[in-house]
Structure 1
Amino acid sequence: MSQPHRRAVLNLYKTLLYMGRDWPQGYDFFRKRLHKVFTKNSGETNPEKIRIMIKHGEFVAKEIEVLYMLKKYRTMKRRYYDGS
């Protein structure tokens, strides 16, 4: 794996680990699944496939971020605008 790809993969892994702290099933569950996915694809040498997997990982990170924002929004809405 070339140096730019390696750096991008490590940054993606760190970002996802950080985001997994608030995962509903727990951080350990998230960390084990994330580690399994990254080790499964660790032998990939095709730069194009690596780039595609990095793009997919960035998409997943954005989706997780949106889910967290939605959860916070719903909590705030329930807290202040409860139907009473």
Structure 2
Amino acid sequence: MSDLRLRVLRRYKELLYMGRDYPQGYVFFRDRLHRAFKSKAGLTDHAQIERQLAFTDYIEREIEALYQLRKYRTIKRNYYADER
């Protein structure tokens, strides 16, 4: 397998792993991720594939931000519930 293909598969697996705690459920996340990767399966130009890999980096950061926001809101609700 080419190096580029291995990078795409690794990114797919990383995003699947990150999707375990997705707010709308793992099945929802897995189906959407599979659909997104399958829609780009026909790409052959290395520059386009690199661009899509960069986009997955952006998606990963967005998922991390979502999880951090959820954690912050939970902590805020637990510790500052009496101040309302």
Q: TM-score w.r.t. structure 1 length?
A: 0.90
- 1 CA distance for matches of 2:4 and 2:80? 47
Which amino acid in the other structure matches residue 78 of structure 2? Answer: R
Which amino acid in the other structure matches residue 39 of structure 2? Answer: K
Alignment partner, residue 54 of structure 1:
53
Q: Give the root-mean-square deviation of aligned CA atoms.
A: 1.3
- The CA deviation at 1:4 is 2.0
**Structure 1: tracts of 5 or more residues without a match:** none
- 1 CA distance for matches of 2:18 and 2:80? 28
Identity of aligned residues (%): 48
Which amino acid in the other structure matches residue 42 of structure 2? Answer: G
Paired residues in the alignment total 83
- The CA deviation at 1:6 is 1.1
Alignment partner, residue 16 of structure 2:
17
- The CA deviation at 1:27 is 0.7
- Write the mapping of 1:28-67 to structure 2, written as runs, cut at 5 A: 28-67=27-66
Which amino acid in the other structure matches residue 66 of structure 1? Answer: A
Report the 3-state secondary structure (helix = DSSP H, G, I; strand = E; otherwise coil) of the residue aligned with 1:79: helix
Runs of 4+ residues deviating >3 angstroms? none
